[in-house]
Every structure is written in C-alpha cells, then in structure tokens.
Amino acid sequence: MSAPAAPSAPDILSAEFADDPYSAYRIMREEHPLIWHEATQSYVISRYADVERAFKDPVFTSRNYDWQLEPVHGRTILQMDGREHSTHRNLVAPAFRGRELAERFVPVIRRNSAELVAAFAGDGEVELVGQYATRFPINVIVDMLGLPKSDHEHFHRWYTSIMGFLSNLSGDEQVAADGIRTRDEFAEYLIPIIAARRADPGDDLLSVLCTAEIDGHRMTDHEIKAFCSLLLTAGGETTDKAIASLMSNLVAHPDQLAAVRADRSLIPAAFAEALRLTPPVHMIMRQPSEDVELSGGVIEAGRTVTCLIGAANRDPGRFARPDEFDLHRDDLDQGRAYTAGANHTSFCLGRHFCVGALLARTELETGIADLLDAMEDIAFADGVPPPEHGVFTRAPSELRLTFTPTGGTR
C-alpha cells in the first residue's frame, strides 16, 4: 500500500485560508515550510526559526517597504537601514518609552478610555469593537498629536483606507486608488499643521517630532507626515484588534478572566499571550540582500519573503500546547515580551522591533482595567466566541458582550 499523499500547499489568498488560517499554518510548518506564492510574487515561510531569522538577520532587509509602504505613507523609518535608521528611530523613540510616555501621554490614554467606557457602562451590553476598540487607539493618537477630536471620523476613514492598501494582497485596483487618494488628503491636512507647530510648538507629540534634533538633524515636514501616517495605521489597527482579541480570549477562558480581574498586574501577561496566540498582524514581509537558505530551500536575493507571524507563534517546536490560551505559560518570556528580545514575533524582532510596543502595552493595561472595573459577569451575547476575520490583519470584527454594570469606572 502506498503512503498517503502529503497535503497540498495552502493558498494564502484562498477562501479556505481566510476561514481558518491556523489549520493551514499547521500544514505549512509540517509539510511546506517554504512556498513560492505566484499571486503575491513572494516566498512564504511559517516555522518559528525561519521567521525569527528573517526578523533578526541583517541579510533580510525591509526594502520591500519601498513598494509596499512608500506609495501610501511616504518614506518612513521602516524603509531605513544603518545610521539613517538609527538616527530617525532615536528622534521618535523617546516619546514612546519610559518617563516621557508616563508623564506626557498616560493621562491622555486614561482620559480617552474612561470617556468611551462611560458611554456604555450602564447598558449591560456592548459591541466592543465598534463602541470601544476601534475608537480608543485612534482617539489616543489624535489626542497625543494635539489634533481636534472632531476630526476623528476623518482619521478613522484614513486609517481604514491605508490598511486596505497595505493588506491588498490580491491587487484590487480600487483599493489601491483609495489608498493613494488618502495619502494626498492626509498630506494636505497635516503639512500646514506641521508648519504651524514648528513656528509655535506646544507639549503635544506633533510638536515633539517637529523640534526633536540629533547631531543637528531634524525630521523634514514630509518625514513627520509619513511617521504620523504610519502611527495612525500601525498604532490604530493593531491596538484595535489586540483589544478585541484579548477580551475575546479572556471571556472564552473564565478562570483566566477571573485571575486578571483579581490581579490587574496579570494584564501584560494576558496581552503577551494574546499577541502570541491571536496576533493582530499575521504576516510581515522582508527581502534578503543575498541568497539565503531556510527550511525547505534557498530564497534568492531580492525576492520578497512573506513571514507568517500567526504560524510562527504557534510552532510546537517553540511553544508547548501552542494552540491553547494560557497567560501563565512558562515558555513565553514575560520579562522581554515588549522588547526587541521578545520570543513571540508579533512586534517583529531586532532592529525593526515595533517602536510603539510600550504604548500598546500601556493602552491595553489601561483599557482592560477600565473595562473590568465597569463590567462584571461578562459573557458572549451569542454564547460562543465570535469568529475572527482577515488575512493580513485578523481579529473578531464584532464582539457582542453582556455584563452586569458595576456602577462606575476607576
């Protein structure tokens, strides 16, 4: 009797993949660790060791962002390498870490979360994505930049359009055109404001970016605009989806929800585990500067590599019980979960590690605590966890919850 045929390589643009990428990831890791995907003109990798190397090894560059990001954002720190990258990262990073973040922006985060939670805290039910998750990070970014909250709907539309452009793996021409139009609208809106902040800076993040200087170098107006565009999408979309996924995971595991309710210092651990199990971004691209050998074969210099974060984070060669949510797991390094040395791959790793990781952690710590303060006996309105949606980014598109109001927030 002949051996059964190995499963065929999954197609990341198929409907079956969109419905259940996790089963596809298992097949990829076990049978097809290196796939040439004709439609996206990229190699697809799925094993933890390969994705980790693609993020850390300098042979893997971010030159793919020249065509992937620049048309819609302009040139950002993600496209830079070497001294240029170090200089620009050092110009923006201080605002997103340590004392600067705590003193300048934590009050902004707390205020925006409290306002949104108060709007539904007495209702006993909430659609958490639409009423909280999609609004909270955008409100925070707009507030941090010192821009009018009345422009929220513009920002929400812009970041939705830009994320559509970035996740347009099938090459839809209308989606691409919408992204380019958004780029122009955003520049027309923000460039005059940048000029005004240079002339009369305040204590907001946009003023910080306008006045930051290292060795006589300052960011240009268009570099600041590009960074704000990147912040809008990277900080909005990912935090939005992280909130929905974390709350869905906690409600689906009442014992772990109870543990977090009793000890709020567990929120970062729960967030890190949700990032591992159900990451907001499932794939990131890289481009090697020379031929490189990974599991399954050789990738030629200059080819695009699609790194499957969602697959790497569930690799049984790296994590025990990889398909289970467990905030107490001992193989996820909590001490480094929000640093470039993290052992989940959801913030990338190495030199292009997400500059906003601590901002995201601070938003999640604040937001989840506020939600738990306002809501007891939280349950899924339909009795079951909602399905996830998306391929490039992924999370529940709706999260309908019932709860007993507590009568207030912190």
* 3-class DSSP string for the chain: CCCCCCCCCCCCCCHHHHHCHHHHHHHHHHHCCEEEECCCCEEEECCHHHHHHHHHCCCEECCCHHHHCHHHHCCCHHHCCHHHHHHHHHHHHHHHCHHHHHHHHHHHHHHHHHHHHHCCCCCCEEEHHHHHHCCHHHHHHHHHCCCCHHHHHHHHHHHHHHHHHHCCCCCCHHHHHHHHHHHHHHHHHHHHHHHHHHHCCCCCHHHHHHHCCECCECCCHHHHHHHHHHHHHHHHHHHHHHHHHHHHHHHHCHHHHHHHHHCHHHHHHHHHHHHHHCCCECEEEEEECCCEEECCEEECCCCEEEEEHHHHCCCCCCCCCCCCCCCCCCCCCHHHCCCCCCCCCCCCCHHHCCCCHHHHHHHHHHHHHHHHHHEEEEEECCCCCCCEECCCECEECCCEEEEEECCCCC
**Higher-confidence position of 325 and 232:** 325
CA 347 centroid distance within chain: 7
pLDDT above 70 (res 278): yes
pLDDT above 90 (res 163): no
Mean pLDDT of the chain: 86
Q: What is the pLDDT of residues 84-140, one digit of tens each?
A: 666 666 666 666 666 666 677 888 899 999 999 999 999 999 999 999 999 899 888
pLDDT above 90 covers a percentage of the chain that reads 52
- Distance, CA of 70 to CA of 332 (rounded, Å): 34
Binned at pLDDT 50, 70 and 90, residue 4 comes out as very low
**Higher-confidence position of 79 and 358:** 358
Binned at pLDDT 50, 70 and 90, residue 361 comes out as confident
Q: What is the pLDDT of residues 113-124, one digit of tens each?
A: 999 999 999 999
Q: Which of 4-8, 220-224, 310-314 has the lowest mean pLDDT?
A: 4-8
Q: Report the pLDDT value the prediction gives residue 360, as an integer from 0 to 100.
A: 85
Domains of the chain, with CATH numbers? 15-405 (1.10.630.10)
Q: Which of 33-42, 182-191, 210-219, 251-260 has the lowest mean pLDDT?
A: 210-219
Q: Which of 109-113, 172-176, 331-335 has the lowest mean pLDDT?
A: 172-176
**Higher-confidence position of 356 and 162:** 162
